[in-house]
Structure 1
Amino acid sequence: MPDMPWFTPTPPAPGAEVHVMASRFETETLLGAVRFFLKAPGIIGQIRKAPGAHGVALRARVLGRTFLTLSAWEDPQALHRFARSEPHRSSSRAAAAFMRESAFAYWTAPASELPITWAEAERRLSEEAARPERTA
């Protein structure tokens, strides 16, 4: 499955610091993965119009039932407004029924580092998964 490459809805101000979120979703079944994938374009489209969004990308491995998302935001509030708005809100609630595992990582970065690489996103997600409070 092809990736949805990094898209910059609104460029950040020069010298700004951005708030980055990476996520990894694994579905229980292939049908769940197909359902997740079919919702992805709507969510990506929503981010492309969201106030405060500075970037978004998706890595979809439907047959592997794994999806990575990467986004950059003006501030944490912009990310939270997006997450609570439609269609993301209802789609994420519906997806919970067929998720096996989800992981999230949040950090800040200079705007000059955009777009964030998949290698960096995966490193951050691995570090988050290895944190002691996550394994207890």
Structure 2
Amino acid sequence: MPTLPWTTPNRPPRSTEVHVFASRFETRTLWGALKFLARTPAVWRQVRGAPGAYGASLKAEPLKRTFWTLSAWESPEALKAFARSGTHAPTSRGLAAQMRDAKFAAWSASSDDLPVSWTDVRRRLT
């Protein structure tokens, strides 16, 4: 599963400001990377039904033990509600001990510019 392509759960209105969120996770071990991969499908299903989710993608580099996420939301509150509910909340807590490093970035963008490029995501997270 190298990349889960951009999925649009809810189509955003045109020319609307959206909240973009990106993350980069590096696990301590290959075993941690496998755990991350094993838990990804359930969280991905949650994203696809999340209120206020305008899009999401995941880029996995399991042999490098690195995972990149990208999502766009109606608001920061919609993202927080997602992160604190459903499968995501216990999954993130359960994987915390597996993480060597985590970086996060959030910014505003126009809905007309979705999806944001992975080049831009990497630049913001390095």
Deviation string for 1:49-82 (max 9, x for gaps)? 0000000000001111000000000000000000
Number of matched pairs: 126
Bigger relative contact order, structure 1 or 2 (CA pairs below 8 A, ≥6 apart): 2
Match of 1:111 in 2: 111
- Is residue 2:62 matched to residue 1:66? no
Q: Report deviation, 1:96.
A: 0.5
5+ residue gaps, structure 2, are none
Aligned to 1:88: 88
The structure with the largest alpha-carbon Rg is 1
TM-score, length basis structure 2 = 0.98
What is the CA-CA distance between 1:14 and the residue it aligns to? 1.1
Counterpart residue number, 1:129: none
Which whole-Å CA distance do the structure 2 matches of 1:86 and 1:15 have between them?
30
Unaligned runs of 5+ in 1: 127-136
Q: For 2:120 and 2:40, locate their aligned partners in 1 and report how far apart those are by CA, in whole Å.
A: 22
Matched residue type, 2:114: L
- Give the ranges of 4+ consecutive aligned residues of structure 1 lying more than 4 Å apart after TM superposition: none
Whole-angstrom distance in 1 between the partners of 2:104 and 2:68: 10
CA RMSD across the alignment = 0.7
Between the aligned partners of 2:2 and 2:125, the Cα distance in structure 1 is 21
Alignment partner, residue 53 of structure 2: 53
Post-superposition offset of 1:15: 1.4
Give, in whole Å, the separation in 1 of the partners of 2:111 and 2:63. 34
User: CA shift at 1:98, angstroms?
Assistant: 0.7
